[in-house]
Amino acid sequence: MRRLALVLALVLAPLVGGAVQPDEILDDPALEARARGITAELRCVVCQAESIDDSNAEIARDLRILVRERLTEGDSDAEVLAFVTDRYGEFVLFRPPFNWRNAALWLSGPLFLVLGGGLAFAYVRRRSTAPAPPRPPLSPEERARLEALTNE
């Protein structure tokens, strides 16, 4: 049982720890925590669905090193993010700021939600107020049964 736990720990450790290599980690725990916070906010330009903290792409490694270098030089978190954004554009940010260039992306989700809700409400409302469909006329056998029941 211990061997199985050890094997699972060795296999799953790279998945949990991200892609940060031991030679990238800073000696100062506070700076390393800041670096991890920043790299978790930056999108890998190759993988696009992963942060550079999780990506194994070479450019993600270069960006992780760049972030750590900027932090050791004394840059603030905002300055590091601004530096990377100036080089790669707002695409690298997982949470880009709201501005006129990306307003359509920010507003399209709520707009479609409201539009879909309005259409669903109108559909349900129309169905509830629609007249019931006319019933087909009674067949001669049904009419005879009805008359027999009402005469009793």
- What digits encode the pLDDT tens for the residues 71-81? 999 999 999 99
Q: pLDDT tier at 28 (50, 70, 90 boundaries)?
A: confident
Q: Rounded CA gap, 120 and 35, in Å?
A: 46
- Here the contacts of 117-124 (C-beta below 8 Å, separation 24 or greater) are none
Confidence of residue 14 (pLDDT cuts 50, 70, 90): very low
What is d(CA 12, CA 6) in angstroms, rounded to the nearest whole number?
10
Most distant CA atoms of the chain, gap in Å: 102
Q: What are phi and psi of 145, to 5 degrees?
A: -65, -40
pLDDT in tens, 46-67: 888 888 888 888 998 899 999 9
Where would I find the H helices in 18-57?
A: 29-41
* Type of residue found at 99: N
List, in order, residues 6 or more apart from 56 with CB less than 8 Å away. Answer: 19
Q: From CA 25, how far away is CA 52, in angstroms rounded? A: 14
CB-based contact 49:7 (threshold 8 Å)? no
